Structure 1
Amino acid sequence: MGAAFLSSWPWDNLGAYKYVLYAPLVGKAVVGRAWERASPDHWLLLLLVLFGLRALTYQLWSSFSNMLFATRRRRIVRDGVDFDQIDKEWDWDNFLILQVHMAAAAFYAFPSLRHLPSWDARGLAVAALLHVVATEPLFYVAHRAFHRGHLFSCYHSLHHSIKVPQPFTAGFATPLEQLVLGVLMAVPLAAACAAGFGSIGLAFAYVLGFDFLRAMGHCNVEVFPGRLFQALPLLRYLIYTPTYHTIHHSNKEANFCLFMPLFDLLGGTLDGQSWELQRKASAGVDEVPEFVFLAHVVDVMQSLHVPFVLRTFASTPFSVQPFLLPMWPFAFVVMLMMWAWSKTFAISGYRLRGRLHQMWAVPRYGFHYFLPFAKDGINKQIELAILRADKMGIKVLSLAALNKNEALNGGGTLFVNKHPGLRVRVVHGNTLTAAVILNEIPEGTSEVFMTGATSKLGRAIALYLCRKKVRVMMMTLSTERFQKIQREAAPEHQQYLVQVTKFRSAMHCKTWIVGKWLSPREQRWAPPGTHFHQFVVPPILGFRRDCTYGNLAAMRLPKDVQGLGACEVSTHLLATFSPSSRRL
């Protein structure tokens, strides 16, 4: 049996090439020099700008709803957005493609629309009136119809398959639903134009206001203070809230309105708990995670790899993409602001075996850790995060790579010694990282070359390999530190630990373990076919085409992790995997 009519998008198989559907409009705008005010195609430029602003409206609300550091207390559904939901909503903007062509068709059908004035306040009054007396009740009736039988099973059930409402969820619907919504949106504008009061400003104000309210209702963060509705009881029937709409996703027989709960009241479908739940959500809920990973940003480009920037990009393994380049200056300015006003913040959360885990971030970039004058400031931020975790009752706090740097704070011992009464366990992943590196080394390897050999990680790796009778060339200028590590090995294994002070000593060794950053010039000493295993942050630049480079150590998360939709959250230290081909 085939799919129901208008239940799937005709360009589903095009992937990112679907944006070619904008090409006819863009092409005509370019040919017609639409940027010139006197151009007969000027309306096309305005139309494209409007739809660009519509997409931006949803993106900004998505960024806000994913700013865990600012919104975690007022989230309505406490679970995170997982990879499955992100995959489902990947093409959330399909409705914009549909509606821009609907709008273009209207302009071609009614040429008078191309010559609207810039503004007419009377049109706003007409549109507001028609919205209340036509769009709102018609949407209510249509929405209830889509919750019945064939219409729900073939169309609207897709929208309700989403567990955690998000601004992009508003666009996640079938073509039939979006076609109906587009027509309902057009009613107030068409009425204003028919009355002779239409204007460009009205079109922008009404459409963007419509999108603003839709995105707000799906944002999963309560934005209205509960006391507002206590002070103005009538207001609760004139504007819905994110909590009000979220209730509809769990109670499919209530709260059907578009933006005005008045119509649920008149239709008898108002959930009686709506305002009490809204009050509780606005008051905020403190949920204490059991485990926190204290991450850090590696560089400016990777700082954009977080859910509140671009959710879809954050859900894929990090790589530098061309679309990031225009965003770099803005990210750089934010970096300077964070440097001036530093505060630890949370950037993602997930559940493992029903228990909440979170990732916090120290607002420091990779190069900050190598600035001598920044050492005290970084340690202060880490210490504040540890004390905050201890006060909250968090059980375990793990330090990311540079946050537990030996030269910075002795692998975290600085804080444990300074605060002997800490209840939170401060840990790091050196043992697991060493295990991952050792697991990568092929069987039968007889010799390795190691930089960063006298660090805690390097020491552990070297001692393990020498017990396996693997010759370890330890690159270090400190004979004292080398001999200290060598004495830790059994007498029969000490001969396998060899101190070297120049890279030329490894010019015949094809297994390099990199724990200290290597410049391209230093990499030249490696023979062709060398594989670089890494535990250095930031990772070295892979400029040798005749060699191979390993990724930083990462662990596969258990399958029962829930609510995690960020991959390698800006650090390369947390790798997550999904069945989606986008993340393989």
Structure 2
Amino acid sequence: MAAAPFSSWFNIGNYKYMLYGPVVANAIWEWREGNSNSWSLHLIILFALRALTYQLWYSFSNMLFLTRRRRVVKQGVDFHQIDKEWHWDDFLILQALLASMLVRLAPPMAELPLLQLKGCAAALLLHVVFSEPVFYLANRCASRGRPSSSPAAVPTPMSAGAGTPLQQLMVSAVMGVPLAVAFAVGWGSSGLAYGHVLVFDFLRCMGYSNVEVLPAALFEALPPMRFLIYSPTYLSLHHTEKNCNFCLFMPLFDALGKTLHPKSWDLQKEISSGDDRIPDFVFLAHVVDIVSSIHAPFMFRSLSSKPFAANLLLVVVMWPIALLWMLLMWAFSKTFLLSFYYLRGRLHQTWVVPRYGFQYFLPFARKGINDQIELAILRADKLGVKVLSLAALNKNESLNGGGTLFVNKHPNLRVRVVHGNTLTAAVILNEIPRDAKEVFLTGATSKLGRAIALYLCRKNIRVLMLTLSTERFQKIQKEAPAECQHHLVQVTKYQAAQNCKTWIVGKWLTPREQSCAPPGTHFHQFVVPPTIGFRKDCTYGKLAAMRFPKDVQGLGYCEYTVERGVVHACHAGGVVHLLEGWRHHEVGAIDVERIDVVWEAAMKHGLAPV
């Protein structure tokens, strides 16, 4: 993680929040003494409101389905930047501790009026005549002769808080002096204390949001506004160009100091008009369960930038928010853009179907889900997307025949529809030990199960195929070469694999079913959601996945439970399809002959097994 005030000074990580303990303790003590309107309590509330302001702006700026056309810097935020800004909220604690010492000189909160207009006017005047010029001069001196040492390649609201301790002390001074003076002359109020700080934070977040929220028509209709309020585009030029745009919020001082970038407003007009770059590749994902929806990139990046893992605190505290989000998704019922990254200079996007895992198993929901997937495919085709890859449940055989439904219904599609299962099968098959003589396969008659069985039997490996349907087993067996058919064996009970240590799991296993495996068994998996490991004497593989090459850019989101820089194999399969320029659809049954072809193509392009 990157250096930040408290974590770098004391190396205490998240224990930094304990530094706020005395303020909390004082608030509790004053509450018990009958003072329920103490400064300490209001500092705690203000701390929470300020953190919420930054979080809401962050969520908005990363709602790509709303903001993608007006992004100033088109690149995505990567893991390096996220780690560098991990302790972005240190400055909130720093300022809260400074305020807790200064409020001892202020009148008790209970004696203050709700609002005094003359106090607000005085603070505003002091901001203009003191804070703005002081910040401008200090920033200009610090950035002389070079672009700003911006903490971020891509501005985010969290970037505003990721500066050095000295920078944050300067910001604290320019924010706090107008407020302190207003209180010192007796014009303070509780409304001023909250309003001044929150408006200051709001404007900083707006500038760092990387989304052009101010319409160009505003500045054209009211030209003086160009000198009174900055824009995200205006701030971005400060971080990319030399000796320009040093102001805090008011470009007036850049104009007076002759440091106003000449393209500031032309560029602002261009970006605010909207620019939607067409992706080459789309991965059509879905939400697995209610809690995992909190893992979306526009929620909490401390969660989305790490592999998803449910815990008691997340379930208890965040479940109501996740439920509300689910209801909103159902209400809008429209596929939306979740995240994006660049690979080999090509734009790759993840779209999400607003449906949850359990819905895919409700018979009455199937038509609605297929309609959503079809609309996404047609939209991608209209935009000019080259390849669209379907996530796990979006290509369910019983739902749409692994994508066959859409290709048959729309034979003139330009976009190539890919289920990616060929590479998924290749990943699983390359995990199996080279010396394996026998495997136990559940989900044996599924698309993946069939391909795995047919591939292994050609390698003279005995495959115990768990299925109750003799007809489906025999159909698969007949597809194998005559000399290999005897390697495929139908079994109907888990006990048949009590001596087999290689299990390939395509169907969720209960603890009782897992107990049939001998000690030392490894469970390879292609079941969604993955089987929970109950056996301590066995090992459990994760879902088939592949690691992207190092030249991927803007990737700052972990795909469900897989680690950073890794995507599920069906996602990677679509990427390989694009990079190879293949013009066929990959839908329906897996072509066993292409498993090695797809695997070798993935290796050629720098993808690697996990």
Determine if the alignment matches structure 1 residue 537 to structure 2 residue 528.
Answer: yes
Structure 2: where are the runs of 5+ without partners?
A: 569-609
Which shows bigger deviation, 464-473 or 206-215? 464-473
1:223 touches 1:282 (CA, 8 Å); kept in 2? yes
Find the aligned partners of 1:81 and 1:431 in 2 and give their Cα distance: 31
Change (3 A) 1:265 1:252: same
Quote how far apart the aligned CAs of 1:569 are: 4.8
The residue type paired with residue 16 of structure 1 is N
Determine if the alignment matches structure 1 residue 96 to structure 2 residue 92.
Answer: yes
Partner of 1:128: 124
TM-score, normalised on structure 1? 0.92
Quote how far apart the aligned CAs of 1:519 are: 2.7
SS in 2 for 1:493: helix
The residue type paired with residue 456 of structure 1 is K
Encode CA deviations 1:316-360: one digit per residue, 9 max, x unaligned. Answer: 111113442211112112212322431111110011111111111
Encode CA deviations 1:61-83: one digit per residue, 9 max, x unaligned. Answer: 11111111111111011100011
1:255 touches 1:270 (CA, 8 Å); kept in 2? yes
Partner of 1:469: 460
Aligned counterpart for 2:347 among listed residues 342, 356, 376: 356
Change (3 A) 1:231 1:102: same
Which shows bigger deviation, 418-427 or 457-466? 457-466
Quote how far apart the aligned CAs of 1:518 are: 2.2
Partner of 1:293: 283
Partner of 1:564: 555
Change (3 A) 1:7 1:485: closer
SS in 1 for 2:31: coil
SS in 2 for 1:351: strand
Encode CA deviations 1:480-501: one digit per residue, 9 max, x unaligned. Answer: 1111111111222111111112
Quote how far apart the aligned CAs of 1:38 are: 2.3
Determine if the alignment matches structure 1 residue 50 to structure 2 residue 46.
Answer: yes
Determine if the alignment matches structure 1 residue 18 to structure 2 residue 16.
Answer: yes
Change (3 A) 1:111 1:234: closer
Structure 1: where are the runs of 5+ without partners?
A: 1-5, 578-583
Determine if the alignment matches structure 1 residue 411 to structure 2 residue 402.
Answer: yes
Partner of 1:67: 63
Change (3 A) 1:467 1:526: same
TM-score, normalised on structure 2? 0.89
Which shows bigger deviation, 478-487 or 388-397? 478-487
Find the aligned partners of 1:209 and 1:573 in 2 and give their Cα distance: 36
Partner of 1:487: 478
Partner of 2:388: 397
Quote how far apart the aligned CAs of 1:509 are: 2.3
The residue type paired with residue 482 of structure 1 is F
Find the aligned partners of 2:126 and 2:496 in 1 and give their Cα distance: 81
Aligned counterpart for 2:240 among listed residues 237, 240, 250: 250
Encode CA deviations 1:155-213: one digit per residue, 9 max, x unaligned. Answer: x62xx252111111101111111111111111111121122110121111000100000
Partner of 1:460: 451
Which shows bigger deviation, 289-298 or 469-478? 469-478
Once the two structures are superposed, the pairs formed by residues 162-177 of structure 1 within 5 Å of their partners are 162-177=152-167
- The total of aligned residue pairs comes to 566
Find the aligned partners of 2:194 and 2:565 in 1 and give their Cα distance: 42
Change (3 A) 1:361 1:7: closer
Change (3 A) 1:572 1:49: same
Aligned counterpart for 2:142 among listed residues 146, 154, 158: 146
Partner of 1:441: 432
Aligned counterpart for 1:502 among listed residues 493, 505, 512: 493
Quote how far apart the aligned CAs of 1:576 are: 5.6
Quote how far apart the aligned CAs of 1:7 are: 8.7
Change (3 A) 1:58 1:340: closer
Find the aligned partners of 2:123 and 2:450 in 1 and give their Cα distance: 72
Which shows bigger deviation, 21-30 or 185-194? 21-30
Find the aligned partners of 1:406 and 1:418 in 2 and give their Cα distance: 16
Aligned counterpart for 1:38 among listed residues 35, 38, 53: 35
- Runs (4 or more) in structure 1 with deviation over 6 Å come to 6-9, 570-574
The residue type paired with residue 224 of structure 1 is L
Determine if the alignment matches structure 1 residue 188 to structure 2 residue 184.
Answer: no
Partner of 1:3: none
1:306 touches 1:570 (CA, 8 Å); kept in 2? no
Find the aligned partners of 1:522 and 1:279 in 2 and give their Cα distance: 63
SS in 2 for 1:363: strand
2:6 touches 2:16 (CA, 8 Å); kept in 1? no
The residue type paired with residue 89 of structure 1 is E
SS in 2 for 1:259: coil
Find the aligned partners of 2:280 and 2:114 in 1 and give their Cα distance: 56
Which shows bigger deviation, 506-515 or 138-147? 506-515
